[in-house]
Structure 1
Amino acid sequence: MYMKTPTRPADIYLRFLQLADAIRGLPALPALDPLEERILALVARMGQEHERLSVRDMMAKEEFGSPATVHNRLKSMRKKGWIMLSDTEDSRRKQIELTQAALQHFDKLSKCLVEAAKGG
């Protein structure tokens, strides 16, 4: 199949979305709902910046909804294998971290972005 070279920056992004959708169909981890995807992105960014993010910190973020909603999503994401909770110096506080499978998912997305930017 012949793929023409992207002519606009938006073409690269749209190609990335197409490639990303293709890897989402692979049975690596159960799918996330849109709110869980936003939470996952925040957990990933905080980890990249070496910032701590506890369950309590996440539940205090109003942009994700009520504390009960956030707690339920974190529980779901943990069950699906996207995040894990690790101990901190305070045994009552749990740190949210990406699982190895979630990191591999981001590796695949990165490859999709590079491929889209190359035009192929």
Structure 2
Amino acid sequence: MTDKTRPADVYLRFLNLVEAVRGLPALPTLDPLEERILALVARKAQQPSRLSVRDVMAMEALGSPATIHGRLKSMREKGWIRLADTEDARRKQIALTPAALKHFDKLSMCLMQAANAE
């Protein structure tokens, strides 16, 4: 980073690069609630415990269980998440699809590119 580069400049470059990535043909876009859910699933994927449909539906801050269920269904149809069986057949675990992981790879590349640009 040069003396004239502010941290905000790096972040703004990152946002511009992300916008360019979103313009590329890939997975269908998500609405703001679906993006929040995706970020939650992605953060949980980095931890030993995984997220179940029941866990997400219990999060009142995301909305009613019916709203959340509808968004999860939409995200599955769009190819962002998949549901996996657990030892309890009534509980489904939420996982990112390979296409969603590839999307996060692209975002990571945008972040590295923005940080390295001078």
Q: TM-score range by the shorter chain?
A: over 0.9
| Per-residue Cα deviation, 1:32-77 (whole angstroms, up to 9, x for no partner) | 0111011000000000112221101100001111111100000000
Residue among 40, 50, 53 paired with 1:52: 50
Structure 1: which 5+ runs fail to align? none
Structure 2: which 5+ runs fail to align? none
Instruction: Give the match's secondary structure for 1:37.
Output: helix
Specify the alignment match of 1:75 in structure 2: 73
What percent identity do the matched residue pairs reach?
A: 72
How big is the shift at 1:27?
1.2
TM-score (norm 1): 0.93
Contact 1:6–1:119 (CA under 8 A) maintained in structure 2: no
Judging changes above 3 Å, is the alpha-carbon distance between structure 1 residues 36 and 5 closer, same or farther for their aligned structure 2 residues?
farther
Instruction: Give the match's secondary structure for 2:5.
Output: coil
How many residue pairs get aligned? The number is: 117
Alignment of 1:1-120 (within 5 A): 7-119=5-117
TM-score (norm 2): 0.95
Q: 2:15 is aligned with what amino acid?
A: L
Runs of 4 or more above 3 Å deviation: none
